[in-house]
Structure 1
Amino acid sequence: MSSSLFVADGKFSPELQSVFNFGLITRPHQARRSRYPSSEFTNDAVLVAQAGKEMALAKWEAIQKGESADCKFLVGSEDSAAELVFGSKVDLISSSLFFKAALKGQFKEQIQSNEPIRIDFVEPKIFKMIMEFAHTCHLNQNPVKSLEDAIRLAKAANLFLMPPLVILGTKLIKKSLSIENVWKALNLLLPEKNLASVCDSILSMRTLECLKQPTFMGISRDSLQYILSMDTLNIPSEYPLVEACAKLAKEERDWSVMDTALPLLRLLTLEAKEINLLAEYLTDFEKKAIGQWLVFNEVPDVAGSRLCPEVTPRKRPVTFRNRRFGEFENQEPPPSFASLNCNSAFKPQFVNFK
Structure 2
Amino acid sequence: MANELEEALERHYWEDELYGARERKLKALEKGEGTDCVFVVGRDDSEVEEFYGNKFDLRAASEYFEVLFRSPLTPPGPIRVKHVEPRIFRMVIEFAHCHKLFKHPANLEEAVLLARSADEFLMTELDIVCKTCISVFLKVDQVWKIYEMNNLCHLVAKSCQEFLCNKTLACLNHPTFLEIKTDTLISFLACGGKMNINSEADLVQACLNLANTKNSDDEKRLLIRSALPHLRLLTLDEGQISALSDFLTDEEKSFLVFKKQPKLSPLFPTGPSAPERICQIKTSRCGVKTFTLRPDPKPLRLRETLQTENRMEVGDQECFTISFEASKFMVIRGFDIFCKMNDPPKTVFIDLTDDQNFLYLDSYAKCFAYDKNLDVSIKVRSCDLKFSGAKLSLAPTTLRPFVTNSWVHFNLNVLVPEGGTFEMSVTLKESCYYRFDKPLNVVETEIPKWNDPDSLKLFKNIKFSDLFFNTDDKLIEAPRHQSLTVVRKLYYTLI
TM-score range for the pair, normalised by the shorter chain length: 0.5 to 0.7
- Can you list the C-alpha shifts for 1:159-207, whole angstroms capped at 9, x where unaligned? 2122221111111111223333332343344344455443455433432
For 2:145 and 2:449, locate their aligned partners in 1 and report how far apart those are by CA, in whole Å.
Answer: 32
Partner of 1:250: 212
Question: Cα–Cα, structure 1 residues 292 and 209, in superposed 2: closer, same or farther, change >3 Å?
Answer: same
- Which residue in the other structure is 2:463 paired with? 336
Is the Cα–Cα contact under 8 Å of residues 191 and 222 in structure 1 kept in the other structure?
A: no
> For each residue in 1:287-339, what CA deviation from the matched residue of structure 2 results, as whole angstroms up to 9, or x when unmatched?
34334444575664233x422123443343559659x9889959998853554
Deviation string, structure 1 residues 54-73 (Cα, Å, up to 9, x no partner): 3123112213xxx5543222
2:237 maps to amino acid: E
- Of 244, 255, 258 in structure 2, the residue corresponding to residue 278 of structure 1 is 244
> Aligned letter for 2:53?
G
Match of 1:122 in 2: 84
Between 1:203-212 and 1:80-89, the stretch displaced more is 80-89
Q: Which residues in structure 2 correspond to 1:282-321 (within 5 Å)?
A: 282-294=248-260, 300-303=272-275, 305-317=276-288
Report if the CA contact (8 A) 2:40-2:51 is conserved: yes
CA 1:92–1:335: 2 relative to 1, 3 Å: closer
What SS does structure 1 have at the residue aligned with 2:52?
A: strand
- Shift, 1:258, TM fit: 2.0
Query: Which residue in 2 is equivalent to 1:138?
Result: 100
Which blocks of at least 5 consecutive residues in structure 2 are unaligned?
1-14, 266-270, 291-327, 332-417, 419-446, 468-476, 480-495
Q: Give the AA of the match of 1:309.
A: Q
Partners of 1:166 and 1:276 in 2: CA distance = 43
**Does the Cα contact within 8 Å between 2:65 and 2:121 map onto a contact in 1?**
yes
**CA distance in 2: counterparts of 1:78 and 1:329, whole angstroms:** 63
Deviation, 1:263, is 0.2
CA contact (8 A) 2:186 2:227 kept: yes
Counterparts in 2 of 1:168 and 1:284: CA distance versus 1, 3 Å: same
State the TM-score, normalized to the length of structure 2: 0.50
**1:351 alignment counterpart:** none
For 1:67-216, what aligned pairs fall within 5 Å after superposition?
A: 68-77=34-43, 79=45, 83-106=49-72, 108=74, 110-111=75-76, 114=77, 116-140=78-102, 142-193=103-154, 195-199=156-160, 201-216=162-177
Q: CA deviation at 1:250?
A: 1.8
Q: 1-side partners of 2:286 and 2:448: how far apart?
A: 14
Higher helix share: 1
| Aligned CA distance change for structure 1 residues 217 and 329 (closer, same or farther; 3 Å) | farther
Q: In 1, distance between residues paired with 2:172 and 2:39?
A: 43
What's the RMSD between the two structures over aligned residues?
3.7
3-state SS in 1 of match to 2:230: coil
Q: Which amino acid aligns with 1:270?
A: L
Q: Report SS of the residue matched to 2:204.
A: helix
User: Matches of 1:295 and 1:79 in 2, distance apart?
Assistant: 69
1:61 to 22, 30, 55: 30
User: Does the Cα contact within 8 Å between 1:239 and 1:274 map onto a contact in 2?
Assistant: yes
1:118, distance to aligned residue in structure 2 (A):
2.7
Q: Which has the higher strand share?
A: 2
In our comparison, the structure showing a higher alpha carbon Rg is 1
Contact 1:82 1:124 in 2 (8 A): yes
TM-score (norm 1): 0.67
1:224 Cα deviation after fit: 2.3
Look up the match of 2:406.
Answer: none
Q: Pick one of 166, 190, 199 that aligns with 1:237.
A: 199
Unaligned runs of 5+ in 1: 1-44, 344-354
Report what 2:380 is aligned to: none
Identity of matched residues, %: 33
SS in 2 for 1:74: strand
Query: Using the alignment, how far apart are the partners of 1:72 and 1:293 within structure 2?
Result: 64
Contact 1:97–1:161 (8 Å) recurs in 2: yes
Distance 1:106 1:218 in 2: 47
Higher relative contact order (CA 8 A, sep 6+): 2
CA shift, 1:151, in A, is: 1.9
